[in-house]
Amino acid sequence: MPEAAATGLGNLPAVSWRLLWRDWRGGELRLLFLALVLAVASVTGIALFTDRLERALLLESANMLAADRVLHTRGEPAPAEIINEAARRGFRTAGTLSFTSMAFSDSGNMLVAAKAVSDAYPLRGKLITTLLPFTRGAPVASGPPPGEVWLESRALPALGVEVGGTVFVGEAELTVGAVIIAEPDRGQGGFVDNAGPRLMLHMDDVAATNVVQPGSRVSHRALFAHDDFVALDAFEQWVDETFDGNYHIRDVREESGEIAEALDRAEGYLLLGSLFAVLLAGLAIALSARRYSERHYDYVAILKTLGCTSARISAIYLLIQLKLALAAVLLGSLLGFALHQGILRALRASLNVELPPPGLEPYVVGALTAFICLLAFALPPLLALRETPPLRVLRKDLTQLRFSDRIPYAFGIGGSVLLIYWYSRDLVLTTLLVVGVAGTGLLLSLISLLFLATSGSVGMKAGNAWKLAMTAVRRRRWQNVLQVMVFSVTIMSLLILSLLRTDLIEDWRAQLPEDTPNLFMMNVTGGQVGRIEAFFAENGVEANAFYPLISARVRTINGAEPEPDAGGGGEQGGSSLLENNELPERPAARDAMAADGGESGQSAESGNRQVQGRLSRRQVTWADEPPPDNRITAGAWWGDNPRSGLVSIDEEYADWLNIGIGDEIGFEINQQFVSAEVANLRSVRWDNMQPNFFIIFSPGTINHLGATFLSTVRLEAGRKLLLNDLIRQFPTIVVIEVDALIEQIQTIIGQVSSAIELIFLLVLAAGALVLLSCVSASLDERFHENAILRTLGAGRRLILASLLIEFSFIGIIAGVIATLGAEGGLYYLQERIFEQDFNPHYWVWLAGPALGCAIIALLGVNSTRKVVSTSPLTVLRRVV
Amino acid sequence: MIRTAGLTKRVPTSEGELTILNDVSLRIEAGESVAIVGASGSGKSTLLGLMAGLDTATSGEIWLDGRQLSTMDEEQRALLRAEAVGFVFQTFQLLPSLTALENAMLPIELKGESGAGGKARKLLDRVGLGDRWHHYPNQLSGGEQQRVAIARAFATKARVLFADEPTGNLDTATGGKVIDVLFELNREFDTTLVLVTHEERLARKCGRSIRLVAGEIANGESRPEPVHA
């Protein structure tokens, strides 16, 4: 006996090459190869795209900080040790110093938001200046030189100066060198950066102004930039560790909650898109591998009669798959690269972001995906071929595939879990998807039971298309269950991504609609409210509601000292803004925006952090109606005839303080004690750039304690000069402009919306391929059966009609299950992961099944048309 | 070359166990040509499958080429087939994605022998298909496909050839020509031939016949065999 053949690999590599080549030539492997290439191409393409897009978006959003990382300090500049360490690590650094001051000229004066910058400012983004106010400008490399000030357009007419004139800041006389049109980090900062038009000067001139004294209310920002993201993270960590958390370097996500949220959601969507793309590609691989292996039963049986052992059969197929996978990885990576280039080209106009070069990781991700998919989805049915009994050469009906009956599902499920976890690194999301799929499986089993329970009748009922189709559905119920599962998972994926995309984009649009107010007016006295309203009415500007503002402190809850959750972070916190009489980072989004704030506050960004450190002074209000975008989550609003002594609390804040409906809260307001019962809890949309409040009293509760008022208004760019008149007429009010921030958020949202649309299209393509391969996987049996029917005299119309009915029926069931799954999945995703409010999509309940029916019927009938156009003899010969 | 003793095959069915072969004992010497005849469903193909090691018996013993099949697992039986056994089937069983030449080469390649192409070409010449070697099965007639199968069966110089209704899918004239080729090569390679057929004319070409009736040997062949090899 030849030992090489008996034990070792012998000439197996050569044999596997020949079989691979012959199978390829015979067209047997093409579908599997195509599915593998698709998996690699879509995953690599999406990974390349998201990798570069994420980095680009981070870079782009870094422009909004004028740096990659920022260290914000109050009163004192950042320690020299940090700046020196940054320089030692090859960082570029710059510094800014913000303060409010009066600027004087020969003909006027006004409160300005002064900002002194060092030579290197800005490190990221562009400072745009011009020589005439309210005109277009051009980017300049750095800020004003010593001896110069640059002013925002509005300040020039207010001060009655032109470029070349002089203004005084404190004791320093400076020349107006340019007009600032845009400043990269204009949206950042608190009150000191927003209390008036910008006046920018050189850092060296600050001393000469004599405005900044020890203890002055000033804000320092140390700016850092480095092209290596890893170096940035390492530096951030070094600062945290060296200074024991007393100083914290922040990136754009921490600096701007709105941008962080947009980026987080976009990344979440892109991740979900990639997951669905991988799962769909896995399905396509599993289906085509199954079909390939089914077509190879006879092949293996013959090989076995020729003396091939099971071990050698496994080795041959393993080698074939390995070679196929390598080829697929190569071709898929190339296609993936081309795909992402295509996407970028298509998006160039809307992206408007300079993309960093791609890394190697996406290719590794693509290749690993191919091998995991192959292991999980393709290998089990192929390895099961080894179980084919050689006797099959004599008896066609023998399959005896014990291995393939159970193991592949375990492999497939295990592989899917591994892939999902690997991509998401998120145990919750992984569990959710696994539970979702398991739920779908359970639902399908129930439907199968229904099929089983349907009283089967004898024969095919071949005289009537409807009955013929229904008996076919019943006879093939187990194959149909698999098919319905594949169809429904595919349609569900597409529905989820489609609905989520629409909801996300609509949500973003709703967050900052076209008429979002761009000015906040504060420190308005009760007597000024009517006059300001009249001022806007005279000038044809729509004024918004005025909210009273008053500083309050929670003293007791049901008579006892408040005991905030330990996890809430308590009172301490980095950038305490109010104690410096400044504004939090998002001036418009917080109730704590009055200039006469309390003792402690914190510019927390989202989630629990929003309520951290909020036990002390809060800016509270009273109102007849809840502010727009507020949703009552417990209890009820006080209705048309409110009684005094009630209070409404933000639900996260209430959660942190362990407050519930009916609790009696004691407040200290203007040295008086006020008690109120909690009537309701609200969810507050902090990112809508509208006045928002943690605590709202019912009218009549605190009205007598004195308050100032806050309101918003939208002034189009062309009407900004009106602001000068307003301030001239009401010199005590404080006006904060947030145009820059709104514009920056809208830019980011526009970009991530484009990315989301594109990923959706990619997954749509992957889904279409799965549907196609699923339909073609069921073709063989239908071909054979219908060929026999035709030889027995069944007409073309009868067969086509029965196929149409059968596929439509399967499509409707798949559509119903997909809709159920999609709504369930969306509920979880929106409520838990994307932090959106879930609303049922009623139209989908009709559209889902209709879509399933239309797509499956169209694909099915189109693919099986050949059944009636090929001669029955050809079909029968091929199948025998 | 082949011996069976008390060979029995039963299969479970929805109506209980069905006996396909019952206590079949026979002996076939090396170089012999034996026809197994009988009506449809008499158990001919099952007996062939068992003797060739394609299936396992419910009870009884089989010796093939001096080795006891009933003690071997599927892997060992496959290796024995690779070394000693050739097949010709009623439905030809050619691999549709391979050309005539590649089909004939396959057992030589699997055995790990060199010069597969040359050996296969010679055999195709020998069966009269020298000019059709590059055709695929679906481009060949039934008779031609069966001749490729015969070339493949002799490619590794098998010591035993099992033929299951080799003319069952062919017309009389074509079947006659195929059988002539089969017997010529059988003589040339001095192969033991076991041929399952229901055609008496074909059976008469063999040295002797074993008739199966309802799973049992009907013509006195079923005599007790010694249990040692």
User: What confidence tens digit (pLDDT) does each residue in B37-49 have?
Assistant: 988 888 888 899 8
Structure tokens at B224: 């007790």
Q: How far apart are CA A792 and CA A790, in angstroms?
A: 5
Q: How far apart are CA A489 and CA A499, in angstroms?
A: 15
Which of B13, B74, B97 would best serve as a mutation to test chain A binding (most A beta carbons within 10 A)? B97
A314 to chain B: which residues are within 8 Å by CB? none
Which of A29, A317, A394 would best serve as a mutation to test chain B binding (most B beta carbons within 10 A)? A394
Mark which residues 292-351 of A lie under 8 Å from B by CB. 298-299, 301-312
B134 touching chain A per CB within 8 A? no
Among the partner-chain residues B54, B97, B98, the one whose CB lies closest to the CB of A390 is: B54
As a whole number, the mean pLDDT across chain A is: 76
A5 touching chain B per CB within 8 A? yes
Distance from CA of A769 to the nearest CA of B (A): 25
Least reliable range by pLDDT among A323-332, A419-428, B210-219: A419-428
Cβ neighbours of residue A743 closer than 8 Å, sequence gap 6 or more? A187
- Burial pattern B182-215, b for ≥16 Cβ within 10 A else e, equals bbebbeeeebbbbbbbbbeebbebbeebbbbeeb
Q: Which residue type sits at A242?
A: T
B113 touching chain A per CB within 8 A? yes
Tens-digit pLDDT profile for residues A167-223: 999 889 999 999 998 888 876 666 666 667 889 999 999 989 888 877 677 888 999
Mark which residues 140-159 of B lie under 8 Å from A by CB. 152, 156
Distance from CA of A294 to the nearest CA of B (A): 14
Q: How confident is the model at residue A616 (pLDDT cuts 50, 70, 90)?
A: low
Q: How far apart are CA A849 and CA A819, in angstroms?
A: 7
Give the pLDDT confidence score for residue A444 in this predicted structure: 64
A390 touching chain B per CB within 8 A? yes
Judge: B87–A5 Cβ closer than 8 Å, yes or no. Answer: no
- Residue A265: strand, helix, or coil: helix
B139 touching chain A per CB within 8 A? no
Answer yes or no: are the C-beta atoms of A163 and A183 closer than 8 Å.
Answer: no
Place of tokens 């119920």: A477
Distance from CA of A446 to the nearest CA of B (A): 27
Give the pLDDT confidence score for residue A126 in this predicted structure: 82
Using the predicted structure, report yes or no on whether residue A704 has a pLDDT greater than 60. Answer: yes
B85 touching chain A per CB within 8 A? yes
Mean pLDDT of A51-73: 76
A879 touching chain B per CB within 8 A? no
Is the reported ipTM for this assembly greater than 0.85? no
Rg (C-alpha) for chain A, rounded Å, is 34
Distance from CA of B67 to the nearest CA of A (A): 13
Judge: B109–A28 Cβ closer than 8 Å, yes or no. Answer: no
A26 to chain B: which residues are within 8 Å by CB? 96-98
Using the predicted structure, report yes or no on whether residue A456 has a pLDDT greater than 70. Answer: no
Give the pLDDT confidence score for residue A341 in this predicted structure: 79
A1 to chain B: which residues are within 8 Å by CB? 79, 83
Mean pLDDT of A155-160: 86
Give the pLDDT confidence score for residue A7 in this predicted structure: 38
Distance from CA of A395 to the nearest CA of B (A): 9
Among the partner-chain residues B55, B81, B164, the one whose CB lies closest to the CB of A307 is: B81
Distance from CA of B134 to the nearest CA of A (A): 13
Judge: A310–B74 Cβ closer than 8 Å, yes or no. Answer: yes
B95 touching chain A per CB within 8 A? yes
Q: How confident is the model at residue A573 (pLDDT cuts 50, 70, 90)?
A: very low
Write out the H or E segment, with its range, that includes residue A584.
none
Judge: A11–B98 Cβ closer than 8 Å, yes or no. Answer: no
Least reliable range by pLDDT among A241-250, A543-552, A577-586: A577-586
Q: How far apart are CA A468 and CA A210, in angstroms?
A: 95
Judge: A305–B49 Cβ closer than 8 Å, yes or no. Answer: no
Among the partner-chain residues A10, A309, A877, the one whose CB lies closest to the CB of B79 is: A309
Cβ neighbours of residue A270 closer than 8 Å, sequence gap 6 or more? A46, A50, A53, A54, A755, A756, A759
Sign of CA dihedral A454, A457, A463, A469: positive
Q: Which residue type sits at A410?
A: A
Q: Which of A267, A294, A278, A470 is nearest to A374 (CA)?
A: A278
B93 to chain A: which residues are within 8 Å by CB? 298, 301-302, 305, 393
Tens-digit pLDDT profile for residues B187-229: 888 999 999 988 888 888 898 999 999 889 886 543 334 434 3
Please report the DSSP string for A507-571 in residue order.
Answer: HHHHHS-TT---EEEEEE-HHHHHHHHHHHHHTT--B---EEEEEEEEEEETTB-----GGGT-S
Q: At what angle do helices A477-511 and A842-869 cross, to 10 degrees?
A: 140
Give the pLDDT confidence score for residue A340 in this predicted structure: 78
Going from the C-alpha of B65 to that of each of B160, B226, B229, the distances in angstroms are 8, 16, 10
Distance from CA of A500 to the nearest CA of B (A): 47
Which of A305, A308, A317 would best serve as a mutation to test chain B binding (most B beta carbons within 10 A)? A305
- Residue A151: strand, helix, or coil: strand
A7 to chain B: which residues are within 8 Å by CB? none
A862 vs A872, residue with greater confidence: A862
Q: How confident is the model at residue A610 (pLDDT cuts 50, 70, 90)?
A: very low
Structure tokens at A87: 């320089």
B112 touching chain A per CB within 8 A? yes
A13 touching chain B per CB within 8 A? no
Tens-digit pLDDT profile for residues A737-767: 777 667 767 776 776 677 677 677 777 767 7
Tens-digit pLDDT profile for residues A228-274: 878 888 898 898 888 877 787 877 666 666 666 766 777 777 777 77
CA angle, residues B151, B157, B162, in degrees to nearest 5: 70
